[in-house]
Chain A
Amino acid sequence: MALVILRRLAQALITVAVVLTLVFLLFSVIPGNYVSSLMAEKRGVDPAVAARIAASLHLNDPTPLRLWHYFVDLLHGNLGVSFSTQQPVTEMLSGRIFASVRLALAAISFAIVTGLPLGYLAASRQGRWVDGVAMVFAVSGLSVPAFWFGLLAMYVFSLQLGLLPTFGYGGGDLAHLVMPALTLGIAPMALLARTTRAAVLETRNADFIRTARSKGMSEGRLVRKHLARNAFVLILTMIGLQFGAMLGGSVVIESLFAWPGVGSLLIQSVGLRDIPVVQGCILVIVLFFLAVNTLVDIAYLIIDPRIRYK
């Protein structure tokens, strides 16, 4: 297991370096920089001032030189200072990481708690009306745009029922978390329901299940000992991918619900061409994705020891 973790760490370092380099280069070649974003604002900035800002932020330096400085600083644990807020990027990210992870955890919990039973129920009632209803629900969850679902949730829970606040973070209370988490979790929930159904059906028809059943194993024990364990490998992969992508994929939800996460900071910073913050956000998103998937890999080893030998 230690070898797996070490290998994963090495892969993660390479991935992070590649992604950060690509993003940095991308922002160097696309038109516009932080100064042009300032000049594009409703009230423009004086050109002389703009030139001074560009010089002070080293925006006119050659790209390789800026990239070199960025990585040197990164190796010293310094993510730089935001062009726009003049705050250290680490400071800006610290509060937002907690909010994003909190939202992602709530959303994935909702997806697991709802999607898994729904998928299992559909598989165990294959071809019956329960299966049909569950799958219609799942397909709807996948096809409805998250933005629209969020607005619908606002309309129902906030405007009509007055049960939940429309948006905001509040004091970090549960009431403010519910709607963004539901909205972010609806698509993963639907995907998990479909994956669970497919995995359960596939495993249920496997030879070892038929053998166990013919030996007289009780249905409960069969599910616990054989079916769940084997089907869960596929489900876990899906959970890992969905959970890992949530930090980067919650941009729209965070913007809609005024949720102070990394996604909304990223989108704001891209618009401003605030490269240090963009790089910081990308770093967090990539690291989160890699960490979650490393944990999933480790979980494979625990769930299915055969993977260890592969």
Chain B
Amino acid sequence: MKRTQDHHRRHGITRRSFFSGAGALGAAAALTNGTALSALLPTPARAAEAAPMPGGTMHLAAPYGSALKSLDPHATWRSQDMVVSKAFHRSLYSWDTSKNAPAPDLAASVTAEADGMTHTYKLHDNAYFHNGRQVVADDVIWSFTRVMDPDKGFPGAALVANIEGADDYAKGKAKTISGLKKIDDLSFQIKMKNYTDPGLLFFDGVTSILPKEEVAKPDFLTHPVGCGPFSFSQHVAGSSISGKKFDKYYKPGKPYADGVHFVITGDYSALDMAFRSGELDATVLSASAYALYKNDAKLSKGLVEVHELFTRHMGMNLKMKPFDDEKVRQAINYAIDRDLIIDKLIKGKAFKAVSWLPSSSIAFDETRKPYPFDVDKAKELMKASAYPDGAEVTIWATNGTNGTGVAQAITPYLAAIGLKVTLKVVESSVLSDALHSGTAQAWLYSSGTGPDPIAALRDFDSRVTRAGGNTTGFSDPAYDKMLDDAAGEVDPDKRRKLTMQADGYIFDKAPVWFFNTNKAVVATQPWIHNVGGNVTEAAILEVDDMWLGKDAPGRS
């Protein structure tokens, strides 16, 4: 419970605490919506933590796929790759799971200047790459510039693009990024294009700080060199990857473990077996495994539940009938019993969505109530709509519980209000193409809705293309202005209120059926300690904080 208590001790809203207040806001929201507080905040696996013990090798899972996409952290934004890159690389920030907010990582200090857009950083003077060279300001500038390289097409470019001059560099109009300025070997400045907290952008592996001289070597893609807590030792592509403790890691005494070993697999059943047999110290769980673990007296003690910042929804193409009518969209939100679907189909491994922003978002409005299950109200809205006799709807979904499973579950509810559903089962990349080209009528999907709430709400900005995230084709100048006002507000409290207002607008206009936000669950063994719940992606663990107890198999 220590983590939860820490959460409640925070007071006031400063620029930084605007974001670090996420947990408290989320907690309040959860209470308002009748959700258990413990289910909303990252739930620590065990309350009592003894003094960390050094030594041993941690055995963890790199889930979701049968192979890593790339060992170059700039080249991949897949969760599975980032699980691993966290062990070998560091960024300017990391996600502090105890505060549910970004925290400086390689940056020893960050000072926001008076303009609210310029940030001065000082790096730790004891941070080294695995090749023994010190991490300096030039490395940050070089790494961010590499991410923006137009020839590389790195995914992190969407984040670095928030720095002044980054776009000009990417377009070839400038030779450097003007918003990045070196002060001395350990100090530099970042000038943003807006008031976005850089911490919300530069904590993922895609903005890792890398050593130029190592990246230039041909074997960097197979033997990565970073400045993380573990140095690379072996990669069996499609099976496992491991690292050994980096003795010159900048955090004194860390990492606690001598080594880390990730099994790479996308098979939840195998992960479950391996965890139960004690071969894994921690792993994420599937919905069916969660139902079993939760009801097991022993296994349930080690569960870390995380309210991830992803919103599952049924998107509706507003340029297609019958979704061009707001009343139909609202009727759908009233017509479906989400509690039942979450309980029976998702096995309780989700939180009911209220609006687009999850209740763990820093700009979630705790006073907002979700659409209730009210069939009469739904029928009333349908009758008042342009489609009183109903309509035919084709829902695109990928195969699986959250795709075809949910589509089948909502079909009878929609039939009750006159919407006849046809299910179209497709592969994820086909669905992606359909969303971006505007050919799908309705679809089941999960979108990232944090940590930056304004960026999440840009999914309904009329100036954003479908391929850019506005898949529903929502277009409303009044809404665009709300977002611009929020983004242009330097005062954090006002900014949060404006963001809430924009989220409320989306709630009313209902361009999607708000289904749920993911409850990610990490199962931990009794012998592993300090496993935090990361709302940005639960499988990404802060491996430098974790340690093994004396009875851990990884010590033998």
A165 to B263, CA, bound (A): 12
* B517: interface (CB < 8 Å): no
Let me know if B221 and A87 touch, CB within 8 A. yes
A167 to B273, CA, bound (A): 9
Known A36-B433, A96-B237; judge A45-B158 contact (CB<8 A): yes
**Partner of A254 from B66, B236, B428 at Cβ < 8 Å:** B66
Let me know if B70 and A85 touch, CB within 8 A. yes
* A42: interface (CB < 8 Å): yes
Q: Return chain B residues, CB-CB under 8 Å to A95.
A: 236-237
* B264: interface (CB < 8 Å): yes
Let me know if B270 and A42 touch, CB within 8 A. no
Let me know if A46 and B161 touch, CB within 8 A. yes
Let me know if A258 and B66 touch, CB within 8 A. yes
* A92: interface (CB < 8 Å): yes
How many A residues face the partner with a CB closer than 8 A? 56
* B468: interface (CB < 8 Å): yes
Q: Determine chain B's interface SS by DSSP, over half rule.
A: loop
**Partner of B274 from A38, A40, A41, A167 at Cβ < 8 Å:** A167
Let me know if B448 and A265 touch, CB within 8 A. no
Shortest Cβ gap from A245 to chain B (Å): 20
A168 to B77, CA, bound (A): 24
Residue among B71, B267, B430, B448 with the highest chain A CB neighbour number at 10 A = B267
Shortest Cβ gap from B317 to chain A (Å): 17
* A52: interface (CB < 8 Å): yes
Let me know if B70 and A56 touch, CB within 8 A. no
Q: Return chain A residues, CB-CB under 8 Å to B279.
A: 158, 165-166
Let me know if A254 and B467 touch, CB within 8 A. no
Let me know if A260 and B239 touch, CB within 8 A. yes
Known A56-B151, A258-B270, A260-B236; judge A43-B448 contact (CB<8 A): yes
Let me know if B270 and A268 touch, CB within 8 A. no
* B142: interface (CB < 8 Å): no
* A50: interface (CB < 8 Å): yes
**Partner of A166 from B71, B239, B270, B432 at Cβ < 8 Å:** B270
* B154: interface (CB < 8 Å): yes
* A162: interface (CB < 8 Å): yes
Let me know if B222 and A168 touch, CB within 8 A. no
Residue among A33, A86, A168 with the highest chain B CB neighbour number at 10 A = A168
Let me know if A41 and B77 touch, CB within 8 A. yes
**Partner of A259 from B72, B79, B221, B238 at Cβ < 8 Å:** B238
Let me know if A255 and B267 touch, CB within 8 A. yes
A260 to B155, CA, bound (A): 27
Residue of chain A at shortest CB distance from B280: A166
Let me know if B158 and A36 touch, CB within 8 A. no
**Partner of B430 from A32, A162, A267 at Cβ < 8 Å:** A32
Shortest Cβ gap from B296 to chain A (Å): 14
Let me know if B276 and A41 touch, CB within 8 A. no
A40 to B445, CA, bound (A): 10
* B446: interface (CB < 8 Å): yes
Let me know if A256 and B267 touch, CB within 8 A. yes
Q: Which residues of B contact A (CB under 8 A)?
A: 65-67, 69-72, 75-79, 150-151, 153-155, 157-158, 161, 170, 221-222, 236-240, 263-267, 269-270, 273-274, 276-277, 279, 310, 426-434, 436, 446, 448, 465, 467-469, 537
15 further A-B contacts with Cβ under 8 Å, apart from A85-B70, A155-B273, A265-B237, are: A30-B430, A32-B430, A38-B155, A42-B448, A44-B469, A46-B468, A50-B153, A56-B151, A84-B70, A256-B269, A256-B270, A258-B263, A260-B238, A264-B66, A271-B65
Nearest 8 pairs of A and B residues by beta carbon? A32-B429, A40-B432, A260-B238, A53-B153, A46-B158, A166-B274, A47-B467, A260-B239
